[in-house]
Chains A and B, each alone.
Chain A
Amino acid sequence: MSCGSIHALCDDSLADILIHLDAASVVRCRAVCRSWHRFATATSFLVAHAARRQREMILGTEHGLSRSAIVPPSLDLDMVAGDGHRYLFDPRPRAADGDGCIELCASLDGLLVLEQRRHCPYYGTCNASTYIICNPVTRQWTNLPALCPATVATGSRFFASVYGSYFHASSDEYRLLFGCVISPSEEEPYFCIVSVGRTLPRRLMSCGPLLDEDDRKCAMLCHGTLHWFNTGKGEIMAFDTVSETFRLISLPPVLGRTRVWRDLLELDGELSVAIMPNYVTLDIWALQDYDDEAAENGRWTLRHRLNVQLPPPPLLDNLGLPMMSLSVGSSAILIGFPISEARLYSLKENDHGVHREINFRGCPTFMVFSESLVHHAFFDLPRCPEISVRDVVSPRFTTASPWYVRTVYLLFFQFGSVHVHHVAKFPLRLSAHPTNVILPVRGRPSRPSAPVNGPNLADPSVPGEIHDCHSPWDPVESTPPPPSIGEYYAKIAPPTSPPPAPLNVEVGLGFVAGSRPHTDVTAVRPHVASQRPSRCRLSSRRREAVKEEEDQLERRGGKEEEDLLKVASACRQRW
C-alpha cells in the first residue's frame, strides 16, 4: 500500500510528525488544511506536544526575559552561545502604559507567574502587589484576585509572598501557595491558596513557619509536595499539595544549621540536596523511603560526590550566596553560583568531576520553561476587575535581591494590548552584559548595622567581623538563626514599642539579618534608610559609628540613585 503521500498517513502518524514541531510551527500548520487544524487543536495532541518540548532555561538578558535550551542538542559548545535565545516577552518598548516592577515568581508547564509590585516604601511586597499568570507562547494572560482580605484594618499592612506553584491534578487547577502577614495585627501569619481562574483566595487551616526570602524562592516540587529549606530551623519544610498540610523533614546529618552552599533538587524522582561544603567537593544526598512517614529522621544517602574544584570566589561575595542547581536528565547536574558560569557535571559513575562550562549569554534564573499550547480555560474568563494593569506607578528601580549580584535590569514586556515598562531583578554576572543597561552598584556601601555574620568585606575597618576571606564557606557554627519573619515585619511596621530583645538586625532596612549583603536597598533608596528609625540596641560606640556610616551612606547613595536614573533614561531613549 505504497500510497506515498502525506494524505495516506494515519492520524497517529501525522500527530507523530507534528509533535516534533515548535509551538509556532504547529500553529502555522493549523492553517494548512482543515484536517490538520483538527489534529493540531486536539487537547490530547497539545498535551503530548507540550510533554515533548525541550526544557529551556529562563534567562535575564539586557532586553528582558529570554529562554534558551538548557543544553544544546549537540556537544558543539559554540551552539551554547546564546544564539538560540528566544524572548519570552517582546523586547521592544512601546509607549508606556504604566510602570511598575515585575518579578518572575514561577514557571510551570509553560505558564509564568509574574508579580507586579507597586510603589512600596519598604523593600518587600505589600498590598499593592498583583499577580499575573501568562503563557508567553500564546500571549494569553490573566490576573489573580486580590489577596488582601477586606478585613485588614486601615493602617495595617498586608504582605503576601509566593511560596510555590503547582498543578492540582484532582481539581485540574493550577494553584499558588502564598504566605500572608498582616502587620500590625493580632492575627497570626497564615497561608492561602489561590486557584487560577477562581475569584477568591482560600485560607489554609494548617500553617507552617514563614520562611525568609532566600528560602522561599527556592521551592522545589517533588512527589506532589513543595519543599523549601528552612535555614533558621535547619530543616526542610514540606507542603503536601494534596492533603494541604505542612511537615518538616530533617536535613542530611552533615548539613544541620551550618550555612554552606546547598540547594534542593529532584534527581531520579528522589528528593535530593546538593551540598557544597567547600570549594572542592559537591555532595548529593537523596532521601530514601520518602513516603515512609515513620522514618522520622529520613534516610539520607550520599548518592554522588563530585570533584568540582571551584575557583575561590571574588572577595565581594560571601557565604550567603546560594547555589542553584538543576538536574539534567538523570545523568548530569547543572550548578550555578552567582559568581561563576553555570557548570554541567556528569553524575555517571566513571566520570565524576567531568564538567563543562555553559555560557548562557544571560543570567540563568534556574527556572525551567517549556513551550505549551495547551488551552487553559482560565484565560477565557474575564480578568479580575479590581486589578488594572495600567494602574501602576511611575518608574522605579528595584535593586537586585541580596543574593543576586548587584545588578539592575530594565525589562520590557508586552501582552496583547498591555505594555508595561518595568524594572525587574535578575541574578548574576555583570560580565555577560556588556552594555550599559546593566548597572552594577559599585562596591557595597558599608552598612550601619553591626552584626554581620559573614565577612564584612565592604568595610574591612570593622574588626572581628571578618572571617577568613579565603574560605567563607567553612561552616559558621556560631551563626545565630535570623529573626523570624514576624520580627522582620514588626520591624518595618511603624514603631510602636521597642523590640522585645536585641536582634540581629540591620538598621533602617528591616531585612532579615544574615550574612547576605543587603546594601542595594540602601544604595538606591538612602532616604528610606535614613528616615527609618534605628531600632537596634547598639552600644554607644557602635551607635556613633552607625551614625557616621549612615551619613556617608546618604551622600554616596544619593549619587548612586542619580546614576541609576541616568541609565534608565538612556535605556529608554535607546529603545
Chain B
Amino acid sequence: MEVDKGKGEAEETRKVAEADRDTVTLKSSDGKLFEVSKEAAARLSTVLAGMIAGGSIDDNGTDLKQIGSEALENVVDYCNKHANSIPSAALISSSISFNTAPFKEPEEWERKFVDRLSHDALFDLVEAANFLGMERLLDVTCHKISEMMKGKSPDQIREVFNIKNDYTKEELEEIRQELAWAFYDD
C-alpha cells in the first residue's frame, strides 16, 4: 500500500523531474522509491552530490542497497525538513554565533526529528547517514545516541543498549581501579 503510494508519487514527480530535473529518485534496499530535491541532496550528502555531479543518478531510482526503506524515509524526511528550515537557519546566523565547539548543537527541529525515532531507527539512520556521507545528520543522530550514554554507569549503558558484558569480574575491577576518577566523580 505504502509502496504503491510511494511509487505513485514517484511516478508523478519523475515526470516533473525529467522536465526540470530538480529532484532525484532514491531506491531503498527493499525497492521503495523516494523523491528528494536535488539541491538538498547535493548539499547534505557528499555521496549523492558526487553521484549527481558524476551523472550516475538513475531516473528510475538510484539503488541504495545498503539502506532500508525506513531509514531512507527518515533521510528524505530530514532533507526536506532541512530545506524548509533554511529561513530560520539564516535568521540564527545573522545574530551572534556563540558556538565555539566544532559540534554545533542541534536546532530545535533537528532535536524533534531525532527524538521521535526509536533506538533501532536511530541506529539505522546513523548507518545510512554514514553511507551517504551526510555529516550533519550523522552528527545529530550520534549526538542523540550519545545523550543516552552520558552520565550513565557501564551497567546502565549495557542495559539501555542490550549489550552483553564480556569482561570477567577481575578485568572489570581492574579497569575500574585504573580509571577510578571517571567512575566516582561527578
Contact = CB atoms under 8 A, between A and B. Distances in A.
B123 A5 contact: yes
B94 A24 contact: no
Interface of A: 1-10, 12-13, 16-25, 27-34, 36-37, 51-55, 69-75, 138-139, 328-329, 331-332, 344, 346, 348, 350-351, 354, 356
Contact of B70 (A2, A30, A33, A55): A2
B71 interface: yes
25 contacts: A2-B124, A4-B120, A5-B123, A5-B161, A7-B163, A8-B127, A9-B126, A17-B142, A17-B146, A19-B142, A21-B146, A23-B182, A25-B151, A29-B154, A31-B167, A32-B157, A33-B163, A33-B167, A52-B101, A55-B100, A70-B100, A73-B101, A74-B105, A328-B98, A351-B96
Interface in B127-186: 127, 130, 138-139, 142-143, 145-147, 149-154, 157-158, 161-167, 172, 175-176, 179, 181-183, 185-186
Contacts of A24: 181-182, 185-186
Contact of B68 (A1, A6, A53, A70): A1
Given A29-B154, A31-B167, A4 B145 contact: no
B179 A9 contact: no
Contact of B146 (A18, A54, A55, A70): A18
A29 B179 CA distance: 11
A331 B97 contact: yes
Contacts, number: 157
A34 B167 contact: yes
A348 B123 CA distance: 38
A55 B101 contact: yes
A28 B154 contact: yes
Given A20-B143, A33-B166, A69-B100, 8 more contacts: A10-B130, A17-B149, A21-B146, A25-B151, A37-B175, A73-B105, A75-B95, A138-B181
Nearest to B65: A1
Contacts of A27: 179, 181-183
Query: Can you list the 4 inter-chain pairs with the closest CB atoms, starting with the nearest?
Result: A4-B120, A27-B182, A20-B146, A31-B154
Interface residues of B, number: 55
A454 B119 CA distance: 65
A6 B148 CA distance: 12
Given A28-B152, A331-B97, A33 B179 contact: no
Contacts of B143: 20
B150 A53 contact: no
Contact of A54 (B97, B100, B120, B157): B100
B99 interface: yes
B102 interface: yes
Nearest to B148: A17
B146 A6 contact: no
Contacts of A32: 154, 157-158, 163, 165
A10 B167 contact: no
B85 interface: no
A interface majority secondary structure: loop
A107 to B, nearest CB: 15
A19 to B, nearest CB: 7
A331 B96 contact: yes
Interface of B: 29, 66, 68, 70-71, 94-103, 105, 119-121, 123-124, 126-127, 130, 138-139, 142-143, 145-147, 149-154, 157-158, 161-167, 172, 175-176, 179, 181-183, 185-186
Contacts of A74: 105
Nearest to B138: A16
Contacts of B99: 71, 73, 329
B158 A33 contact: yes
A348 B94 contact: yes
Given A25-B151, A28-B154, A75-B98, A6 B182 contact: no
Nearest to A346: B96
Given A25-B149, A34-B167, A16 B130 contact: yes
A309 B113 CA distance: 42
A72 B71 CA distance: 32
B179 A329 contact: no
**Max chain A C-beta neighbours (<10 A), residue from B70, B126, B158:** B126
B142 A2 contact: no
A72 B157 contact: no
B176 A31 contact: yes
Nearest to A370: B101
A378 B14 CA distance: 62
Contacts of A12: 130
Given A4-B119, A52-B101, A72-B98, A17 B126 contact: yes
Nearest to A53: B101
A54 B100 CA distance: 7
Contacts of A1: 29, 66, 68
A2 B127 CA distance: 10
A418 to B, nearest CB: 15
A384 to B, nearest CB: 24
**Max chain A C-beta neighbours (<10 A), residue from B139, B161, B176, B182:** B182
A544 to B, nearest CB: 56
A16 B183 contact: no
Contacts of B172: 31
Nearest to A2: B68
Nearest to A71: B98
A9 B29 CA distance: 17
Given A17-B142, A17-B146, A28-B154, A71 B100 contact: yes
B164 A33 contact: yes
Contact of B149 (A13, A29, A37, A351): A29
A6 B157 CA distance: 11
A4 B121 contact: yes
A51 B163 CA distance: 28
